[in-house]
Structure 1
Amino acid sequence: MFTIGDFAKLGGVSVRMLRHYDAIGLLPPASVDPASGYRLYRAEQLWRLNKLVALKDLGFTLQQVQAILDDRLDVAELRGMLRLRREELAAQVAADTARLAMVEARLRMIEEEGRMPTQDVTVKQIAPLRVAELTAVAEGYIPAHIGPVISPLYPELMRRLDKAGITPLGAPAIAYYEPDGDNVLVHAAMQVADAPDPAHDFTVVDLPEVHAATLIHHGPMDDVLASIQTLARWIEQHGYRPLGYHREVYLDYHPDSPETGITELQVPITPA
């Protein structure tokens, strides 16, 4: 038999945790020395400890772990718990990956501060535009919030346009955004010639003519904030202020290779 210290070393846990597991009945010692009160463990108890630690690392509560180890759950219940936890972990990994990408983008912006040439900004008149669009709500303006919301809208919009017998005019897709309380209302749009129709399961709107400062952004939209901030510096330096909602026109976009993307950023402006 092993003392609690030796058993902790063999199991790769702390003595404190073993005492806690004993206190809640999750892993009591094999015996307790009546004279010294020392807890003593058997090697065969390591299997329970290993399962306990593995389930705990998966995010199960100690109460759930005890139910699993004591076979108080049938196979279907256990399978359901494991599937749910798998989905939770996958969502967490996706969120952490998006957060890491955003941190890396911010670092690049800091490192390249002032290096992006504002002379690439072009001022032009954007003609009125009729578009068919779908909308959805995002939690914020950062690409990690916008991307997952807007990406599914375009294939869905194309499906609905095809069902309505409407062919978009030209390939570029357009996005624009407006505040919606603490969130952002995301508009995913494509140019059309057809008039609004209540029977359509999408909206047809007329975007107004605007005088805009524009900049071509190359690469994935994860890095778009750097280009947007370059536009902001140019607008301020030249005595303008933004007016209304800025647009993104996806001139060349490939979901499978976003690094090849070409996007025109359009910020409507007016003299300050």
Structure 2
Amino acid sequence: MLKIGEFSKLSRVSIRMLRRYNEVGLLLPAETDPITGYRYYSEDQLPAAGRITALRDMGFGLAAIEQLLATWKEPVALEAILDAKQAQLQEEAALAQRRLRALETLRQRLRKEDNAMDYTVNLKTLPQRQAACLRMTIPNYDQEGTLWQILMRETAHLDLQPDDPCYCSVTFHDGEFKERDVDLEAQKTVRGQYPDTEHVQFKLLPPVTFASTVYQGPYEKIGEANAAVAAWVRDNGYTYDGPAFNIYHISPHETKDPEQFVTEVCYPVKKADT
């Protein structure tokens, strides 16, 4: 048997934490002296202590660790818990990466006196065009890629012929910025006629006149581009005339480097009444 201090050294778990594990019933001493109250641990408990430490390092709380240890010999239940934790950690990592990019974007902005001057806004018109369209409500804007995955999967067997030029865009149908349950429509311009699939419709889109600007870099920069377009609309006597959309000239489909993304932010407009 091992005294608590000896077990602490061997397990690399502090005495304070061993006492905490005892309090919550996670790792009980093998024996407790009824007279002195001294706790003794068995060498056989070292693997359990190691599992607890590993699970804590993965971010599991004590209650979750207790559940995991209870299902340690049930592979299906254990795998489900680990899968859920992996998804959580991936989401947290993605959030941290977005925050780091936002931080770097702010650093770059602080190095310039007026970053909006870097954007050239143009008035354009897209003619009538045929497009594969998929409109869905998804949890948030960061999951926009889900639309493209479904669109590509459902049309893979149709051998779509891209238009020339081919525009891949997403229209934002909500009249406001929303934190959840966002209404988006992915559109890819194509040549020819094709049957609709479960989620994809082939539409003849009407012409649209819009003010737009192109920027390179991560999507966190879109606020600056929007500000440049808004200033142009105000200064040139136009008003907004329909839902905004983004055209993706270089997207995550072509590169994994956010600094190489090329995005055109587009706002349908018309001349203001005079």
Residues 84 and 237 of structure 1, relative CA distance in 2, 3 Å threshold: farther
Aligned length: 256
Give CA-to-partner distance per residue, 1:211-260, whole Å, 9 cap, x none.
Answer: 31111222454644443343234334545443311222233556242544
Task: Give the aligned partner of residue 246 of structure 1.
Answer: 244
Q: Are 1:37 and 2:37 an aligned pair?
A: yes
Which of residues 185, 189, 192 in structure 2 aligns to 1:191? 189
Contact 2:174 2:243 in 1 (8 A): no
Say which SS state the counterpart of residue 235 (structure 1) adopts. helix
1:1-272 aligned at under 5 Å gives the runs 1-23=1-23, 26-55=26-55, 57-58=57-58, 59=60, 60-66=64-70, 68=72, 73=73, 77=74, 79-111=75-107, 112=109, 114-117=114-117, 120-141=120-141, 144-146=142-144, 148-156=145-153, 158-159=155-156, 161-162=158-159, 167-170=161-164, 171-179=166-174, 182-192=180-190, 200-201=196-197, 202-221=200-219, 223-253=221-251, 255-259=253-257, 260-270=260-270, 271=272
Q: What TM-score comes out, normalization by structure 2 length?
A: 0.74
Residues 83 and 11 of structure 1, relative CA distance in 2, 3 Å threshold: same
Residues 139 and 42 of structure 1, relative CA distance in 2, 3 Å threshold: closer
Distance 1:243 1:205 in 2: 20
Q: Which amino acid aligns with 1:177?
A: F
Distance 2:183 2:44 in 1: 59
Say which SS state the counterpart of residue 173 (structure 2) adopts. strand
Give CA-to-partner distance per residue, 1:49-79, whole Å, 9 cap, x none.
Answer: 22333345553431441453xxxx3xxx2x2
State the shift of 1:31 in Å.
2.7
Residues 228 and 152 of structure 1, relative CA distance in 2, 3 Å threshold: farther
Q: Which runs of 5+ in 1 are unaligned?
A: none
Q: Which runs of 5+ in 2 are unaligned?
A: none
Residues 55 and 207 of structure 1, relative CA distance in 2, 3 Å threshold: same
State the shift of 1:133 in Å.
1.0
Measured on the aligned residues, the alpha-carbon RMSD in Å equals: 3.4
Distance 2:55 2:99 in 1: 31
Distance 1:125 1:228 in 2: 18
Q: What TM-score comes out, normalization by structure 1 length?
A: 0.75
Say which SS state the counterpart of residue 37 (structure 2) adopts. coil
Say which SS state the counterpart of residue 87 (structure 1) adopts. helix
Residues 23 and 193 of structure 1, relative CA distance in 2, 3 Å threshold: closer
Distance 1:126 1:221 in 2: 23
Q: Percent identity?
A: 24
State the shift of 1:203 in Å.
1.4
